[in-house]
């Protein structure tokens, strides 16, 4: 591709008509900065009765308003905060039970036309190795993830570049789904491919939907317009604030009803971000009747040759990070909360009881690193450096020891339980109980196919408790469930309700 062709590609990415149709008649959007600043001006400690009323609303799996969230942000009383933390854990158990869904990130490209100040993969950073994997290389990466590690679910990550555009994304997804690898007892295969990619047009998203696209994740990075402009150069695609802000409107219009949003914490005041994210959630509920299926919480991390991340003005400390996770669970009680391996093992352990539903493991974010057998992080191949490089087996053993069953289940998506269907089930608590059955089956499958003896011992002890819970709490389904479980024990795979 010539430089001129690349410039044309960049110029044509943004479709102005697919922005303005989602804005207000005066050109404004759903993030009202003045209103957020007004809410943040009130710093007084709220009354306990008021706080407990909002906790009760969250426990009913009802979305809080921005004003209600701003009240909880102001809580500093240790006793009230403890009540909020306990409620966050209780909401998670009500909506998702004691499951923790695991996945792996798979970076397929490191070429990017943008120049985000905080990103190691920004186009002008000449200290980073640039690659776009071929389909043969995509296959090798998938074989390592599905056959060696035992992953069933991926988040596939792409830089914004003409060599990794929508057609490449579609081809790579089809390639990933096509890979099947013999394991200890069965077949290793990726059953769910979620995508973290740049904003796209409605037509591109419609095409991606046909190839089995899972959750479509696009993070706003920051909802603060001034901060956004400081870190995203105006002549880049990503410099267009509204093209990114209206992404999920286009996804819904394209028929993609399973969406994930998030903030890159550390670019501005985390309290502003939390209230703006709530505005985004309420806008999604208004526009299409469903909010985000997942929220992600990346913090700024070190990256090679990236001075911006060395001492950011708005760095979020661990105490505030815990606060924003708990507040998010209360504010959007149905949403899945994702804490990635950006965080340290200690931080992930600390946050797990407060409503976290998904965590990655055995993560390697170097392009081509899984097949290469790269164990140590290499800054010149990565967008940033990870805080938790532990393997999947070790993580699952730890989570099981904490009473959490690792779920590899993807049945709900493949059965069409997305969008309004999944939201209704989450709000009533029905999804958690139903998915628990499939979580047990997939956990047993993984233990038999991939676990070390130590992890298998810890996992089987937890499974015995889970089986007894199903038998006593869901007796009507016990006979059918136990038969499916025995089929897994006998070596059958991918059995689900």
Grouping H, G, I as helix, E, B as strand and the rest as coil, residue 206 is helix
Q: For 294-327, what is each residue's pLDDT tens digit?
A: 999 999 988 899 999 998 999 999 999 999 999 9
Kindly give the interhelix angle for 66-73 and 48-59, rounded to the nearest 10 degrees.
120
CB within 8 Å of 385: residues ≥ 6 apart: 301, 302, 303, 377, 379
Q: How far apart are CA 16 and CA 316, in angstroms?
A: 35
Contact 371, 140 (CB under 8 A): yes
Helix (H) or strand (E) holding 196: strand 192-196
Grouping H, G, I as helix, E, B as strand and the rest as coil, residue 217 is strand
Report which DSSP code applies to 45. P
Residue 271's pLDDT is: 98
Q: Which residue has the higher pLDDT, 384 or 26?
A: 26
Q: For 452-492, what is each residue's pLDDT tens digit?
A: 999 999 999 999 999 999 999 989 999 999 999 999 999 99
Locus of tokens 């988040």? 155
Q: For 57-113, what is each residue's pLDDT tens digit?
A: 999 999 999 999 999 999 999 999 999 999 999 999 999 999 999 999 999 999 999
Q: How confident is the model at residue 25 (pLDDT cuts 50, 70, 90)?
A: very high
- The percent of residues in the chain predicted with pLDDT above 70, rounded, is 93
Q: What is the mean pLDDT of the chain?
A: 93
Q: How confident is the model at residue 152 (pLDDT cuts 50, 70, 90)?
A: very high
Q: For 329-345, what is each residue's pLDDT tens digit?
A: 999 999 999 999 999 99
Domain 3-21+100-423 sits in which CATH superfamily? Aldolase class I (3.20.20.70)
pLDDT surpassing 60 at residue 432: no
Q: How confident is the model at residue 7 (pLDDT cuts 50, 70, 90)?
A: confident
Listed by start position, the domains of the chain span 3-21+100-423, 33-88, 433-489
pLDDT surpassing 70 at residue 374: no
Contact 197, 244 (CB under 8 A): no
Mean pLDDT of 260-287: 98
Mean pLDDT of 428-439: 73
Which of 77, 132, 136 lies closest to 110 in space, CA to CA?
132
In this predicted structure, which of 68-72, 238-242, 418-422 has the lowest mean pLDDT?
A: 418-422
Mean pLDDT of 237-252: 98
Contact 438, 411 (CB under 8 A): yes
pLDDT surpassing 90 at residue 143: yes
Per DSSP (E only), the strands in 275-408 are: 294-296, 336-338, 358-360, 405-407
Grouping H, G, I as helix, E, B as strand and the rest as coil, residue 460 is helix
Residue 72's pLDDT is: 98
Mean pLDDT of 372-389: 74
**How many beta carbons lie within 10 A of that of residue 239, not counting itself?**
18
Report which DSSP code applies to 239. G
Q: For 337-367, what is each residue's pLDDT tens digit?
A: 999 999 999 999 999 999 999 999 999 988 9
pTM: 0.94
Which of 400, 385, 419 lies closest to 466 in space, CA to CA?
400
């Amino acid at each position: 591709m010539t430089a001129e062709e690349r410039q044309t590609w960049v110029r044509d990415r943004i479709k102005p008509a697919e922005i303005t149709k989602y804005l207000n008649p005066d050109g404004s959007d759903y993030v009202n900065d003045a209103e957020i600043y007004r809410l943040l001006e009130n710093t007084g400690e709220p009354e306990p009765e008021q706080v407990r009323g909002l906790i009760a609303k969250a426990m009913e799996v009802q979305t809080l308003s921005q004003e209600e969230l701003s009240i909880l942000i102001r809580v500093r009383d240790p006793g009230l905060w403890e009540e909020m933390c306990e409620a966050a854990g209780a909401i998670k158990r009500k909506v998702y039970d004691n499951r923790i869904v695991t996945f792996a990130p798979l970076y397929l490209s490191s070429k990017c036309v943008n120049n985000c100040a905080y990103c190691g993969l920004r186009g002008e950073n000449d200290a980073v190795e640039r690659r776009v994997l071929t389909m043969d290389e995509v296959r090798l990466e998938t074989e390592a993830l599905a056959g060696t590690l035992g992953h069933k679910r991926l988040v596939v990550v792409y830089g914004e570049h003409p060599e990794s555009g929508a057609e490449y994304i579609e081809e790579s997804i089809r390639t990933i789904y096509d890979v099947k690898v013999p394991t200890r007892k069965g077949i290793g295969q990726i059953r769910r491919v979620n995508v973290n990619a740049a904003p796209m047009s409605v037509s591109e998203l419609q095409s991606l939907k046909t190839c089995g696209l899972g959750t479509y994740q696009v993070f706003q990075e920051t909802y603060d317009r001034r901060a956004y402009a400081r870190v995203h150069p105006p002549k880049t695609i990503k410099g267009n604030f509204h093209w990114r802000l209206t992404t999920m409107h286009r996804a819904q219009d394209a028929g993609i009803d399973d969406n994930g949003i998030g903030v890159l914490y550390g670019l501005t005041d985390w309290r502003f971000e939390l209230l703006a994210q709530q505005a985004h959630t309420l806008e999604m509920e208004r526009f299409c009747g469903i909010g985000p299926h997942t929220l992600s919480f990346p913090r700024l991390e070190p990256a090679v040759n990236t001075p911006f991340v060395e001492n950011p003005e708005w760095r979020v400390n661990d105490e505030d990070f815990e606060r924003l996770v708990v507040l998010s669970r209360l504010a959007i009680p149905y949403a899945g909360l994702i804490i990635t391996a950006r965080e340290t093992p200690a931080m992930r352990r600390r946050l797990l009881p407060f409503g976290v539903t998904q965590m990655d493991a055995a993560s390697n974010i170097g392009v081509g690193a899984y097949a290469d057998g790269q164990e140590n992080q290499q800054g010149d191949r990565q967008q940033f450096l990870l805080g938790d490089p532990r393997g999947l087996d070790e993580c699952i053993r730890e989570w099981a020891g904490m009473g959490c069953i690792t779920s590899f289940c993807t049945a709900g998506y493949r059965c069409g339980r997305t969008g309004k269907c999944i939201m209704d089930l989450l709000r009533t608590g029905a999804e958690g109980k139903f998915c628990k059955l499939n979580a047990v089956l997939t956990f047993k499958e993984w233990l038999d196919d991939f676990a070390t003896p130590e992890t298998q011992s810890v996992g089987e002890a937890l499974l015995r408790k889970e089986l007894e819970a199903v038998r006593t709490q869901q007796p009507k389904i016990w006979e059918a469930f136990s038969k499916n479980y025995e089929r897994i024990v006998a070596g059958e795979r991918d059995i689900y309700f």
